[in-house]
Structure 1
Amino acid sequence: MKKQLLVAALLQAMSVCAQAETEAAVAAGTTELDRVLVTGEIAYRDRADATAPVLVYDLDYFQRFEPRTVGDMLKRVPSVAFVSDVLEYDGARLRGLDPGYTQILINGKKVPGGGDDRSFFVDRIPAEVVERIEIVRSASANRSGDAMAGAINIVLRDAYEFDGGYVRAGISHFDDGENKPTAAVVASGEFAGGRVLAGVSHQGRYNPKQKLSLRYDGPGGDLDNREEQSDTRDGTDDSLNFSYVRDIGAGKLSLSGLYVRTDRTETEHSLEYNDRYSVSRDNLLSVNDQVAKIRQDNYALKGDYVIAHGEGKTELAFNLARMKDDTRNVEQEIGYDDDDTPPSFDGYEGTLEITDLKDSEYGFTLSHARALGATQMEFGLDYSAKDRDFGLRTSEVETDEEGAPLPPYLEFDAERSTIEERRVDPYLMFSGKGTALSWEAGLRVETTRSRVESDGERWSKDYSVPLPSAHLRWDLDAANRVNFSVARSVRRPNFNFLLPNLREGEYGDNDFFGNPALAQEKAWGLDLGFEHRLGKRGVVGVNLFYRDVRDLIEIVNTGAPSETALEDFEDEIADFLEGHPGATPSTPGYPQLDADSFVYSAANVGDGSVYGVEFDLSTPLTALGLPDTGVFLNYSWLDSEVKDALGKRRFNDQAHSVLNVGFIQDLPSLQANFGVSYRRQGRAYSRLLAEEVETRYGADLEAFVEKRFGTQWSIRLTGTNLLDSSKDETFHKFNTLGEQIERDYDEYELESEQAGPVYQLVARYAW
């Protein structure tokens, strides 16, 4: 009932704004802060002046829907998909590819992340600190080349462009009755001979979800069990950011920094039954509780000093970024034996995992640009260093006594690994700009020295890759533009693929052992785009892209038996010797190892291709006599092809499509506006050895209504996930590759996860 009342209140407020027209127009005066805070104008996607294909979205494009994080912002731009839990937007998948294919930058510099695939979780950055988002579709010589799908540059607010201050405060209401606060203060002005901006924000994070899993012995087969689970993510994000700019001597000094602390608790409670509907103790198979306490600290610092002299410019820059993650994860389960009726107590077991991860990157850049007649030349050298230190401690305990507590976690198995990468990347680039044609061509050579150490053993690998790139922009006239790009890019191996540690049961009954000799994946990419200006503020564009990927990293079977196979073989020998004392391997009938599960590894064994079409539209409806109505639409059709041991498939978890559509209606006479946004992501499919997963998402509907009071106050009500979106997955599980080929199932699982709507009320005051 509470949910229906809140939806009704939101829709009623929108209706009142739409119908209450008045002849007395209120002056919509603006200040420098109005464009990001208390604005009376609808914002649209900007048209970038860069020769390389770049889409630019200022904060005002997103802000009316009150995004909490950068992830909430990115879900509205072309080609960005997510394969996360409902209402979680963490690993951005540009062109639908694995997050490791997308380079995440903050103020143009790389940042480390906690993911094994080198990805950075964009939901760790509050939307409050962002000035704009840039989608860089193709690589250039003066940027790092590990951006096969493209790059996402998160540009923080700059003291040079921002003047004044504001206070933001609000509250979010969740489907289960929980309320979480949000607050921020940002101010900017003259300081110490320059300009400074400083901000602080607090964001309450919460996501309650319900899951249902039905497991069968195969498609259309008998039910094995049903699992009902509650999964709640509860935490806070606190951030500090600053920017300082001043002239020193003949140059300009710019400093910026960001610190984000995340405290998060993930709580799961699961009940498993041997019946489709019963909740009786007579059908109970297990009770599982898992609690993970996570503490993350992220910070990024950047500084550059630019000297302009004559027809040239010299820049010296540094950057430092670090991510620290400490997680304590406890999982405890009471199991019941299904061979008895009703199931009898079978044991109580628990596992404690303590992980600590430190991932840091620092670098220096020296570059020089100057004019050579009508041509601009730029050359430079990027040095970067990455250090990743990972530790895992695991303790397992159990008891066979019903009702007894678990023993304390005292004995731990420990492992520690470090990965070091040192890069020296020189580049040379030429560019030119004419009346209609602009061009850019360059070469970057990335030289990497990699060192991997695990449990006292070391491995090393050095490699060098040339990365040429070229871009052409043709302005057909004032309204029409064509872009063409060709560039070579790379993707470095996942960290867990590099570590030569045995992980038992990583893929069904199969184990996994890393390969520190893996090479980078490499790709040639093409982008061809057309863009048309609609009036003064509208833009419509279409882009075709293609990536030819070589040295693709795939999971392979080493042929060595798994630990499970060896243990089963040892048990088989023990049983044989019990009946045949003194038997030897030459004794007739003596067991022979016939493994049905193996040790997998990773290798550069495949090639693949990625392609698609991206369309985006952002415009006021001035041509229809509706200048105060703005619409946006972007649709991406995504496809790919790769060969694995079972034949052809798409790149794993690549969504078939991404659709965003919506409108904003401004009511100048009321100093108010409202809008609606709809998002739909196509299904995705993943196939690994021993498991295949199909993923489908429900549609996501959002709405807002805003009221402004003069030029300093505004209040906004937003509703998110108004359609109770769900994530539905189908798991095809097998024990071995042979059984997977023959479709001999170990388990067939249907899982559905759902979350309710979220309502947020936010007020702003600007000065």
Structure 2
Amino acid sequence: MNASSRLTLGALALLPALACAQSAAPATTPPADDPPPAPRQARPDPKPAPAPASKPSSAAKDGANERTERLDRVELQGSASDDTLRRASTAAKIVIGREEIERFGDSSIGEVLKRLPGVTTGGRPGRGGEIRMRGMGGGYTQILVNGERMPPGFSLDQLPPEQIERIEIMRAPTAEYGARAVAGTINVVLREALQRRLNELRAGFQLERGRLSPGFSWTRNDKLDDQGGAYNLTVNAMQGKRYDDVHNETLTRALDRGTERLLVNRGQSEDDRRSLNLTARLQWRLGQGSTLALQPFVVVNRGNTDGAFNQTQTPRALPGDPDYYNFDQVQTEGHNRFTMMRLNGQWSQRLDEASRLELRAGVGRARSNGDTDRLESLAGTVKREQLDHTESRNRSWSLNGKYSHQFENEHSLVMGLEGEGMSSDQTRTCLQNGLSCAYLLDFGDDLDAATQRVAVYAQDEWSMGPQWSFYAGLRWEQIRTESKAKNYAVSNSAGVTTPLLHAVYKLDEKRRDQIRMSLTRSYKSPNLQDLIARPSINSQYPCLPSQPCGPNEINYPDRMGNPLLKPELATGVDIAYEKYLAKGGILSANFFVRRIQDLIRNQPELEDVSWAPVQRWVSRPRNIGNARTMGVELEAKFRLDEYVDEAWPVNIRSNLSLFRSRVDGIQGPNNKLDQQPDYTLNLGADYKLRSLPLSVGASLNYTPANTIQQTVLSEASSTHKRVLDAFVAWQVNRDTLLRLSASNLAPLDYNTGSITYAPTLLNPTREIISQNLGRSFTVWQLRLEMKI
């Protein structure tokens, strides 16, 4: 039995054992000798203090017991609030509130999400990266901010956790949030305006590999008026510095001739980024059941990158040999800027006691520009210098209307209409050794593109008795994409109808045990860059001005879009068991399966191209066939004293997710979906000390090594990833907290690689083995949090 099978059996055995323990444990409040620290939480008694006596009166005892019980209830409600929202939702949903977001003092959303069931992040350990649900990258996970998509160039890592109110994770699509969610949806909700006054400052710094990165945030929350108006303002400024080693190797073997050539790149790169983020929310009660809210959102990023590396070939390239571009030193310098401004408005009107109308509108602009300078030298002599300047401008709008009606028999109907548009224009200036990059003049350096989306949906939720709840939804959505450049225009239109069914069955009257079932249709639409046919020439095999453009290698292909792409359609089934615990927490097991049609994958092929007199390898996204994926997600989140008598109230968080997938038309055994591992594992615990004002915690995130057969001719691999995090938080006083946290405490190298077979006329059995070796480092963070 292999390691994966043993983990599977062990995890499946976890839930019955905990369920039995739960049935044996009495569903009571915490023991009286384990109350929360009374001096900080107890409110003063408004009644006059009783006269001193040798013994406390029975009334005083009763009052103390009453206050203790009240404090226990407050503590339980606070820890279970996220689970309460999760349990009440008919469609499967995980809610992560402020308490959970702040627990480890993470500096990015990716670090928060990586501890959740089935969520993984790409890139090196401790660095965040692309967020994936169920191990599925490349657009299978729908990412929303306040229910809306963000423009190109925006990443969730640009959004600091201090600006987030909660994170909603939906494992199956819903009509309201959209069906472009084959793996699921992550909706980030920004800070909300409350009438409760809050004035909070956070300041600190990160330390990675000897480089300090300071950060500061301020949150202000207060009333606007006495009629229910309120506002929230959150400002965050930060600087991030990273210093990395560059080490990649490519070994090319001509198996028919028995010869080898090794290409090695070694060097360093340094990245310095500064960002300013601002979110605000202003809301008013206008009277007669009407409310209005405005929410501006501003992101400003500036970054500088510098790199230098040496390239060596063994043996050296021969004159006229159509192999790697011949240079031995490279210096790169880059500057980039990104600015995004968005304003959302929401108006809600209660039509009567049971009906409500809601309108949402948003407008936004984003602008990014970048400059790169690449200098290639051979034996100290500059051979090529390429200067690139790109500038992109994005404009977006959205208009949504929603009508909801609540019937008397616990029956809720929602209907909506959505419209969204996004346009982008890009200009580029490219110079090689002072001359224009003439090989792309047929396509031009300017590009305009636009996307329009229209959707209509209806969803109905109802209950049948105290145990059954149902959800039925239907959504129709059409997306049209257009792009044009100098001598060509591309258009693509796709419409998808998605029926959605969800059901919940509560096994007991207390509604602590329930079963969820979902039957859904979802899809993944091609992104704009995949559709645009404008080529990008590989920098390792460039086309020099005034010279014929030569051949390239299969592992260094040019890239080009495909305007004929069709969307991927997926039919999915989800079945889950959930057990909610008396002291807060949950035991759950979730099974899912997705059948995907018209799978999109990038594949290189030899093509006749207009920018070269010979065929070149060109990688395009293509619909290659069907695929299927399935998995089991196990979760156990509980307090240790719920199962072990007289144990400390340690919060335990653990989950194990197992995945399997298969792509038709590609030979196994590793014909899996891109980037999907066999499993992911999370173990974590935190505890608030009784004797000292300290909270401590640690978590372990593990993803095994992975090999994926991407095409018939190529496979990709990555080493295992292990991330150990820990924190210590000292409550200096009621309003001041000092937090020390560490991410990636036991750093491991994270290496990726590929093996490609290149069938050519000259070398029909060429094997190309590439490796990218990446070191990782511990990231320390010290932060002071103050409430003023």
TM-score per shorter chain, which class? 0.7 to 0.9
Q: 1:211 aligns with which of 246, 249, 253?
A: 246
- Distance between the aligned counterparts of 1:316 and 1:418, measured in 2? 30
- Distance between the aligned counterparts of 2:610 and 2:698, measured in 1? 54
- Distance between the aligned counterparts of 1:39 and 1:180, measured in 2? 37
Q: Secondary structure at the match of 1:615?
A: strand
Corresponding residue number in structure 2 for 1:241: 279
Query: Structure 1 555/75 Cα, relative in aligned 2: closer, same or farther at 3 Å?
Result: closer
Q: 2:425 aligns with which of 350, 369, 389?
A: 389
Shift in Å at residue 58 of structure 1? 1.2
Q: 1:287 aligns with which of 307, 311, 329?
A: 329
- Distance between the aligned counterparts of 2:291 and 2:449, measured in 1? 36
Q: Secondary structure at the match of 1:28?
A: helix
Greater displacement, 182-191 / 348-357 = 348-357
Query: Structure 1 560/200 Cα, relative in aligned 2: closer, same or farther at 3 Å?
Result: closer
- AA of the residue aligned to 2:166: R
Within a 5 Å distance, the mapping from 1:613-692 to structure 2 comes to 613-623=632-642, 624=644, 625-644=646-665, 649-686=671-708, 687-688=710-711, 691-692=714-715
- Distance between the aligned counterparts of 1:298 and 1:97, measured in 2? 28
Is 1:553 matched with 2:600?
yes
Is 1:515 matched with 2:550?
no
Within a 5 Å distance, the mapping from 1:561-580 to structure 2 comes to 561-562=608-609, 566-567=613-614
Is 1:607 matched with 2:619?
no
Greater displacement, 748-757 / 450-459 = 450-459
Identity of aligned residues (%): 22
Q: Confirm or deny: 8 A CA contact 1:562 1:598 kept in the other structure.
A: no
Q: Confirm or deny: 8 A CA contact 1:508 1:690 kept in the other structure.
A: no
Q: Confirm or deny: 8 A CA contact 1:301 1:320 kept in the other structure.
A: yes
Is 1:27 matched with 2:39?
yes
Q: 2:207 aligns with which of 147, 152, 173?
A: 173
Q: Confirm or deny: 8 A CA contact 1:510 1:562 kept in the other structure.
A: no
Q: Secondary structure at the match of 2:563?
A: coil
- Distance between the aligned counterparts of 1:168 and 1:541, measured in 2? 35
Corresponding residue number in structure 2 for 1:474: 505
Q: Confirm or deny: 8 A CA contact 1:335 1:347 kept in the other structure.
A: yes
Q: Secondary structure at the match of 2:728?
A: strand
Q: Secondary structure at the match of 2:99?
A: helix
Corresponding residue number in structure 1 for 2:397: 362
- AA of the residue aligned to 1:93: R
Is 1:302 matched with 2:344?
yes
Greater displacement, 121-130 / 363-372 = 363-372
Is 1:528 matched with 2:575?
yes
Within a 5 Å distance, the mapping from 1:56-71 to structure 2 comes to 56-71=95-110
Aligned-residue CA RMSD in angstroms? Answer: 3.3
- Distance between the aligned counterparts of 1:71 and 1:121, measured in 2? 10
- Distance between the aligned counterparts of 1:534 and 1:26, measured in 2? 25
Shift in Å at residue 85 of structure 1? 3.9
Query: Structure 1 150/201 Cα, relative in aligned 2: closer, same or farther at 3 Å?
Result: same
Query: Structure 1 123/722 Cα, relative in aligned 2: closer, same or farther at 3 Å?
Result: same
- Distance between the aligned counterparts of 1:190 and 1:24, measured in 2? 31
Corresponding residue number in structure 1 for 2:6: none
Within a 5 Å distance, the mapping from 1:452-471 to structure 2 comes to 452-471=483-502
- Distance between the aligned counterparts of 1:221 and 1:45, measured in 2? 61
- Distance between the aligned counterparts of 1:557 and 1:714, measured in 2? 54
Q: Secondary structure at the match of 1:752?
A: strand
Corresponding residue number in structure 1 for 2:386: 351
Query: Structure 1 508/730 Cα, relative in aligned 2: closer, same or farther at 3 Å?
Result: closer
Q: Confirm or deny: 8 A CA contact 1:642 1:649 kept in the other structure.
A: yes
Corresponding residue number in structure 1 for 2:170: 136
Query: Structure 1 173/604 Cα, relative in aligned 2: closer, same or farther at 3 Å?
Result: closer
- Distance between the aligned counterparts of 1:158 and 1:701, measured in 2? 32
Q: Confirm or deny: 8 A CA contact 1:508 1:734 kept in the other structure.
A: no
- Distance between the aligned counterparts of 1:24 and 1:476, measured in 2? 32
Q: Secondary structure at the match of 2:139?
A: helix
CA distances 1:33-75 after superposition (whole Å, capped 9, x unpaired): x9xxx99987896341211000011121131321112222222
Q: Confirm or deny: 8 A CA contact 2:750 2:776 kept in the other structure.
A: no
Q: Confirm or deny: 8 A CA contact 2:415 2:459 kept in the other structure.
A: yes
Corresponding residue number in structure 1 for 2:232: 197
Is 1:163 matched with 2:197?
yes
Q: Confirm or deny: 8 A CA contact 2:247 2:266 kept in the other structure.
A: yes
How many residues matched? 682
Query: Structure 1 529/158 Cα, relative in aligned 2: closer, same or farther at 3 Å?
Result: same
Q: 2:362 aligns with which of 313, 319, 329?
A: 319
Query: Structure 1 688/299 Cα, relative in aligned 2: closer, same or farther at 3 Å?
Result: farther
Is 1:702 matched with 2:733?
no
Shift in Å at residue 655 of structure 1? 2.4
- Distance between the aligned counterparts of 2:78 and 2:416, measured in 1? 41
Query: Structure 1 331/190 Cα, relative in aligned 2: closer, same or farther at 3 Å?
Result: same
Q: Secondary structure at the match of 1:27?
A: helix
Query: Structure 1 223/744 Cα, relative in aligned 2: closer, same or farther at 3 Å?
Result: closer
- Distance between the aligned counterparts of 1:750 and 1:329, measured in 2? 25
- AA of the residue aligned to 2:400: T
Query: Structure 1 619/743 Cα, relative in aligned 2: closer, same or farther at 3 Å?
Result: farther
Corresponding residue number in structure 1 for 2:452: 422
Corresponding residue number in structure 1 for 2:54: none
Shift in Å at residue 91 of structure 1? 1.8
Corresponding residue number in structure 2 for 1:9: none
Is 1:440 matched with 2:482?
no
Greater displacement, 302-311 / 164-173 = 302-311
Corresponding residue number in structure 1 for 2:294: 255
Q: Secondary structure at the match of 1:100?
A: coil
Corresponding residue number in structure 2 for 1:54: 93
Q: Confirm or deny: 8 A CA contact 1:508 1:691 kept in the other structure.
A: no
Q: Confirm or deny: 8 A CA contact 2:705 2:721 kept in the other structure.
A: no
- Distance between the aligned counterparts of 2:76 and 2:575, measured in 1? 35
Corresponding residue number in structure 2 for 1:224: 262
Shift in Å at residue 185 of structure 1? 1.0
Q: TM-score of the superposition, structure 1-length normalised?
A: 0.82
- AA of the residue aligned to 1:604: N
- Distance between the aligned counterparts of 1:727 and 1:373, measured in 2? 57
Corresponding residue number in structure 1 for 2:543: none
- Distance between the aligned counterparts of 1:133 and 1:142, measured in 2? 17
Greater length-normalized contact order (CA 8 Å, ≥ 6 residues apart) = 1
Query: Structure 1 675/373 Cα, relative in aligned 2: closer, same or farther at 3 Å?
Result: closer
- Distance between the aligned counterparts of 1:409 and 1:387, measured in 2? 27
Q: 2:416 aligns with which of 373, 380, 395?
A: 380
CA distances 1:217-254 after superposition (whole Å, capped 9, x unpaired): 34998561432222222212211111112211321222
Shift in Å at residue 680 of structure 1? 1.2
